[in-house]
Amino acid sequence: MSSSPSTPGIERVSAPPLAERLALRQFWELTKPRLSLLSVITALVGYMAADPQRDAGVFLALLIGTSLAAGAAGALNQWLEREVDRRMARTQDRPLPSGAVSPQAALAFGLILGISGSTLVWLGANPLAGALTVATLVSYLLVYTPLKRITSWNTLIGAIPGALPPLIGWAAASGQIDPLGWILFGILFCWQIPHFMAIAWLYRDDYAQGGFVMSTVNDPSGRCAARQSLGHSILLLGISLLPAILGYASWLLYGAAALVCGLGYAWTAFKFWRAENDMRTPASRKMFLASIAYLPLLLGALVIDRWLIG
Say if CB 92 and CB 98 are below 8 A apart: yes
Q: Which of 178, 157, 158, 155 is nearest to 166 (CA)?
A: 178
Shared domain check, 145 and 102: yes
Which comes out higher in pLDDT, residue 3 or 77?
77
Whether residue 56 sits in one domain with residue 165:
yes
Closest residue by Cα to residue 166 from 21, 301, 40: 40
For the stretch 261-298, pLDDT in tens is 999 999 999 999 999 888 999 999 999 999 999 999 99
Q: Are 270 and 226 in contact (CB under 8 A)?
A: no
- Same domain flag for 222 and 157: no
- Domain with residue 141: its CATH number is 1.10.357.140
User: Taking 50 as the threshold, does the pLDDT of residue 144 lie above it?
Assistant: yes
In a domain, 21, yes or no: no
Model confidence at 9, pLDDT cuts 50, 70, 90, reads very low
Cα angle 263, 268, 273; round to 5? 120
Query: 36 with 165, same domain?
Result: yes
pLDDT at 83 over 80: yes
Q: Please check whether residues 171 and 192 belong to one and the same domain.
A: no
108 and 233, same domain (yes or no): no
pLDDT at residue 10, as a whole number: 44
pLDDT of 12-45, one tens digit each?
444 456 666 778 899 999 999 999 999 999 999 9
Q: How many domains does the chain have?
A: 2
Same domain (yes/no): 196, 106:
no
**Which CATH number fits the domain that encloses residue 194?**
1.20.120
Pair (59, 200) in one structural domain: no
Q: Is residue 227 part of a domain?
A: yes
Residue from 110, 114, 104 nearest 137 by CA: 114
CA dist 29 and 20 (Å) reads 14
119 and 188 share a domain? Answer: no
Q: Looking at residues 144-172, what average pLDDT do you find?
A: 96
* 203-219 per-residue burial string, b: 16 or more CB within 10 A, e: under 16: bbebbbebebbbbbbee
Same domain, 197 and 157: no
**69 & 191 share domain:** no
Banded model confidence at residue 51, pLDDT cuts 50, 70, 90: confident
The whole-angstrom separation of Cα 286 and Cα 137 is 30
**pLDDT at residue number 308:** 83
pLDDT in tens, 117-141: 999 999 999 999 999 999 999 999 9
Q: For a pLDDT cut of 90, what percent of the chain falls above it?
A: 87
Helix axes 127-138, 103-124, angle to 10 degrees: 150
Which of 155, 176, 197 lies at the terminal end of a domain, its last residue? Answer: 176
Are 298 and 261 within 8 A, CB to CB?
A: yes
Do 123 and 218 fall into the same domain?
Answer: no
What is the domain extent for residue 245?
A: 178-310
Q: What is the pLDDT of residues 204-233, one digit of tens each?
A: 999 999 999 999 999 999 999 999 999 999
Res 278: pLDDT: 85
Give me the phi and psi of 116, to 5 degrees please.
-70, -40
| Beta strand residue intervals within 183-244, DSSP E | none
Q: Pick from 180, 134, 190: which is nearest to 160 by CA?
A: 190
